[in-house]
Structure 1
Amino acid sequence: MPLSFKPVSGLRLRWSRLFQRAVIAAAISVAGTAALQAGDDQPNSLPPVLQSSKLRLEARLAAEQGDFLHAAVALEQAALVVGDRETAQKAGAGRQQLEAQGGAMADFQSLMTLIMEQTAPPAQWIMRGDETGTMTPYMQGVFVGAPALAGAMAMTFDNSRLSTAAELARTANSNSDVLETSALRLVSLPRLEAEIARLQKSGQPIPADAAALAGLTEVQFLFVFPDSGDVVIGGPAGAWAQDEKGRTVSTASGRPTLQLDDLVTLSRTFADNGRGFFMCTIDPKPQQVQAVQQYASRLQLSARNARQETQKLEELLGLQNVTVAGVPADSRVASVIVDADYQMKLIGIGRRDGAAGMKSYFELAGRDERRGAAMDALRWWMTVGYDAIRVAPDRRAFEFTGRSVRCQSENQLVKVDGSREATGKADSANAEFARLFTEHLPQLAEKDVVFADLQNIFDLALASAMINTMDLDRQAGWQPAVFTTAGGFETQPVEVPRELMTAAASRVYRDGSIVVQVAGGIKVDLREVISNPQSFTTAPEVSSQARNASPVGQTGRWWWDAAVR
């Protein structure tokens, strides 16, 4: 469906009556730079060798989180500090190629090799067969990266609750009405794929129950059953209907149902021959940022003309580029992540309300932040926020827990040419916006379908990534066919904008400060969850939910309800 909204470009301006400071905030996400601090010491206060080591560590962390421009810059600086001109030139060449292409680098194998050679331990990405791995260049929006070797890193636990859950999943109840409410409905992905193949072969359309994945509204469990050849996802489900925008939503909770198209799209993304990530960016054009800087430097802003000048800044920034990669640009996944990115930005600049308890940056900015540095940038992005992935001792039952989406923040420096430099730090108002957004996002998802849809996308992405990374499909003897890129299933195209107009907002404060802000950004990286052993926690009570995952005596059914929840 068409998306009708305006973008935000990531630009913030601050003035006071005593002096004028232009702060250009290109705050759309640069994936993975928030955690790049290696302590509070300033690098230039250390001996050259230690400066270089610290910068190489920064490069390694940036690369593993998907920010390859930041990694290239850090490697270049690390080499220059110790006089290694050859390495500096190689890193500089990679940096220049990324910058010239706006973060899109067609061939970055040489940069990937350099990063692995120059970091200790070497930066790691998911390994695929005999290849050295996959990596993605500098991104600025939604970024979901393939997990690292989660199968080798996952911890096992004495998790009787998960084991019991697996047993429950083997004893389906007698319900055959897909519209009946269920606290735990199970969907076998191999059986669903076989049903889709049967329908296609006979020329029949995809029925509504398959398109809506039997009414599932979230993924809580992931099971693998080698004896029956099943890989199963499970969660709450029930009746659904179309809302005013044509979206399939639960009649009980109003949450959107999971979508077959999204499942297929993400399964292909995280398959062996997939891109291993997906992302979107909403980027202001560098020349437009420069024009705003020049305009702001001579602007005489006052309370009377604040609104008018805000509109002028919107016009100067004009249309911004929307880029989608890793998934089809006309897919429903692309539509959801772009829409969610935009909506978060509007909340950040106070152009729309969030959930109760959320506040815009205007409401949080103190006097020091309103009279801040001459040029800096706000950055907000969303990452996967699951508190833990609970795993059974046999690694065949998993539970996703906690918030699926977490907002993070950073302040960046903006240079004269419009480029941005990461700081790894966020001012208090910026950090507080991210904290409040994360804390109240579940409530926001209850009233705004796009954020619930984003949670569903994250759920399916995590499940798809784990199935491939941990070889759960192979354990079950399932070799996907129709769901693969070469399969015959075609997802329905959705209109996703290629350009979006800039939006801005302003606030006049009692102390005379005037803030004009355009803000935003999202970054999501599954590797941070399933490659981290600490993500897998002990939960003995979980196993009791998995006993229904393979229906006994229910030949031909691809969904069923657990007998006990």
Structure 2
Amino acid sequence: MKLSKARFTAALAMSCLVAIATLTTAGFNGGGNNQVGGVSIDPAGVVRTATVQENQELVNLLRQEVAVPRGDLAAPADLRMVSLAGLQEAIREVRKTGGRLPAEIRYLAGLTAVDYVWADKDHNDLILAGPAEPWTLSETGSVVGKETGAAILRLEDLVVALRNVENARAQGITCSIEPTAEGRQRLNAFLRRVNLRPGQSPVALEAGMKEAFGPQMIRLNGIPANSRYACTLVAADYQMKRLAMALVDSPVKGLPSYLQMSRNTAHTGTQNPRWWMECDYESLTRNEAGTLWKLSGQGVKTMTEQDAIAANGEAVASGNVDKIAQKWADSMTGNFEQLAKAMPVFGDLQNLMDLTVVSTLIVQEQLEDRSGLQLDVLRDQDALAPIAFDAPQTIAPECSFIKGRSGWVVTASGGVSVNAFQVVHDQRVDPALDEQLVSSIAGGSWWWNKTSN
């Protein structure tokens, strides 16, 4: 398409959704909110940017709900053990009083990752172990570790992951934010009707381009669309695109935007870079007895491919990769750990990957039967009913522009894919993996720190 002598396509990225969720116990509803991370979602599923006042009101609300950790929970631990048997019993005790689940239960004793899964046959237990920190609120209302800023694992995400393993088996867990074919056609028609004067920026056409392009559609598979899990997938996908298209400043020095990398390069209006994030670990190993598993690696990598845009506006995977788009994807993967602490939604995504692999492992390896612990409380909708949020459905387009060698640059789409089954399938035996994670459960607590040998 041509505007005067310049060729360009719009960088139409998406608004973001992150939802916070609490858990309900029988006869008691916890509080919830459809605003976090600077955005809001309305009952129609439309996302908009939250105002400064709304953001501050959210943080004030959460301060009342996120209790300050005390005792041993107020100190970090290199390896904290969480007994799922003890956790379920703690939830049962809360149910008896009809009270709200305390913060230490909702935030899994401050775990920031899952490194080990242990089927403890001697105590009829399943134990998750990983690093842990006292939790606090970030400026955007995310619950993060006080020491490093790493996102804290959520019981609600574990519940959703565990209950949807079979759904994931049938259809996979995916999220995508996609322009419509009709929107692309309307945009092309709009661009054919206008002309840019020499030296004029297409920014002047932004309002018309947005109206022509219309809302982009959110598609979710494998998990409930109104869950916090689903909202986190949407948020992470959106934030990735905003970083790529320079709609938000990167908090990581080594991760410039794709638009910055694309300056003074050639582009074509019939090719569209697409990025998505996948579940990716260095390894899943187990001991010879098949009672202990270790999960290694950051869990997330960024992928890219070029979509070919047909005349009818449909996007089809071309199998080709743009070199600069690949360079940006590699840069995001390489800087992901730092990015996840600067933008907690990416840390939340890492945690979803961990909890989904853990849940898939439990089901695939029949760890409930092998350990003698049935996760009946975690599976019981009456015992733990995640609050249903307004499901994200559409996101308004945003525009970003940069001058390339042959015109103005580019549109983006993509998503998130969580293939935990492949990770579990590819596990291998490590004879050196130590099984002795714990010696005792001190004081009957459902969580404890590993002491030095």
1:121-178 deviations in Å (ceiling 9; x for gaps): xxxxxxxxxxxxxxxxxxxxxxxxxxxxxxxxxxxxxxxxxxxxxxxxxxxxxx9722
Q: CA deviation at 1:403?
A: 2.0
* In 2: Cα distance, 1:497 partner to 1:273 partner: 19
Please tell me whether the aligned partners of residues 330 and 496 of structure 1 are also in contact (alpha carbons under 8 angstroms). yes
CA distance in 1, matches of 2:101, 2:397: 39
Is 1:250 equivalent to 2:250 in the alignment?
Answer: no
Provide the C-alpha distance between the structure 2 equivalents of 1:331 and 1:524, rounded to a whole number of angstroms. Answer: 16
Partner of 1:333: 229
1:558 and 2:451 aligned = no
Q: In structure 2, do the counterparts of structure 1 residues 364 and 537 end up closer, same or farther at CA, with 3 Å as the change threshold?
A: farther
Correspondence for 2:253 among 330, 338, 356 = 356
Are the aligned partners of 1:548 and 1:561 in contact in 2 as well (CA < 8 Å)? Answer: no
**3-state SS of the aligned residue for 1:219?**
coil
C-alpha distance in 1 between matches for 2:168 and 2:409: 45
SS of 1:521's equivalent in the other structure is strand
Change in CA separation of 1:274 and 1:480 when aligned onto 2, cut-off 3 Å: farther
Q: CA deviation at 1:262?
A: 0.9
Q: Which amino acid aligns with 2:396?
A: M
Contact kept in structure 2, 1:346 and 1:352, CA below 8 Å: yes
Query: Are the equivalent residues in 2 in contact too, given 1:385–1:405 (CA < 8 A)?
Result: yes
Residue 196 (str. 1) matches residue 91 (str. 2) = yes
Residue 258 (structure 1) shift: 0.7
For 2:379 and 2:173, the matched residues in 1 are separated by: 16
Answer whether contact 2:153 2:351 (CA < 8 A) is retained: yes
Q: Secondary structure at the match of 1:455?
A: helix
Question: C-alpha separation between the residues in 2 aligned to 1:274 and 1:490?
Answer: 22
What is the aligned partner in structure 2 of residue 455 from structure 1?
350
CA shift in 2, pair 1:258/1:498, >3 Å = same
CA contact (8 A) 1:22 1:296 kept: no
Q: Is the 8 A contact 1:384 1:529 kept in 2?
A: no
- The verdict on how the C-alpha distance between 1:391 and 1:519 changes in structure 2, with shifts beyond 3 A counting, is same
Q: Deviations over 1:417-466 (max 9, x none)?
A: 22122122201111111111111111111211111111111111111111
Query: Which amino acid counterpart does residue 499 of structure 1 have in structure 2?
Result: T
- The separation in 2 between residues aligned to 1:294 and 1:440, in whole angstroms, is 39
Q: CA deviation at 1:556?
A: 3.6
Please, which of 276, 296, 299 is the counterpart of residue 404 of structure 1?
299
Say yes or no: does 1:213 pair with 2:108. yes
Distance 1:266 1:553, change over 3 A: closer
What SS class does the counterpart of residue 298 from structure 2 fall into?
coil
Contact 1:348–1:520 under 8 Å retained in 2: no
**Aligned-partner SS, 1:329:** coil
- Aligned mates of 2:168, 2:274 — CA distance in 1: 32
The offset of 1:494, in angstroms, is 4.1
Q: What CA distance in whole angstroms lies between the structure 2 residues aligned with 1:398 and 1:288? A: 47
- Structure 2 counterpart SS, 1:206: coil
- The residue aligned with 2:51 is none
- SS of the aligned residue for 2:413 comes to coil
State the AA in 1 paired with 2:255. M
Residue 483 of structure 1: how far off its partner (Å) = 1.4
Q: Which residue of the other structure, out of 146, 157, 161, is the alignment partner of 1:262? A: 157
Q: How far, CA to CA, are the matches of 2:223 and 2:375 in structure 1? A: 18
SS of residue paired to 1:351: coil
**Partner secondary structure for residue 445 of structure 2:** coil
Q: Which residue of 1 aligns with 2:396?
A: 501
Tell me which amino acid in the other structure corresponds to 2:318: T
Query: Which residue in the other structure is 1:163 paired with?
Result: none
User: SS in structure 2 opposite 1:382?
Assistant: strand
User: How far, CA to CA, are the matches of 1:395 and 1:204 in structure 2?
Assistant: 38
Q: For residue 200 of structure 2, what is the aligned residue in structure 1?
A: 304
Comparing 519-528 with 400-409, greater Cα deviation is found at 519-528
Residue 233 of structure 1 deviates from its aligned partner by: 1.0
Distance, in Å, in 2 between the alignment partners of 1:360 and 1:273 is 32
Q: Which amino acid in the other structure matches residue 505 of structure 1?
A: S
Q: Which protein has the bigger strand share? A: 2
Query: Is the contact between residue 379 and residue 412 of structure 1 (CA under 8 Å) also seen in structure 2?
Result: yes
The one-letter code matched in structure 2 to 1:490 is A
Equivalent position of 1:484 in the other structure:
379
- RMSD between aligned residues: 2.9
1:387 corresponding residue in structure 2: 282
8 Å CA contact 1:239, 1:251 repeated in 2? yes
- Given candidates 237, 242, 260, the residue that maps to 1:346 is 242
For 1:151-230, list aligned pairs within 5 A.
Answer: 177-230=72-125
- Structure 2 residue aligned with 1:323: 219
Gaps of at least 5 residues in structure 1 are 1-12, 29-174
Does the CA contact (< 8 Å) of 1:267 and 1:464 recur in 2? yes
295-304 vs 447-456, greater mean Cα deviation: 295-304
| 2:213 equivalent to 1:291 | no
Q: Provide TM-score, normalisation by structure 1.
A: 0.64
Contact kept in structure 2, 1:330 and 1:494, CA below 8 Å:
yes
Deviations 1:475-532 (A, max 9, x none): 11222212115442112344553321101211124x5x33232313223232574255
Aligned residues: 396
Alignment partner of 2:415 out of 502, 522, 525: 522
Deviates more, 1:294-303 or 1:222-231: 294-303
Distance 1:319 1:297, change over 3 A: same
1:482/1:306 Cα in 2 relative to 1: closer, same or farther (>3 Å)?
same
Q: What is aligned with 2:135?
A: 240
Q: Is the radius of gyration larger for structure 1 or structure 2?
A: 1
List gaps (5 residues or longer) in structure 2: 15-69
Counterpart Cα distance in 1 of 2:327 and 2:393: 32
Equivalent AA in structure 1 for residue 220 of structure 2: V
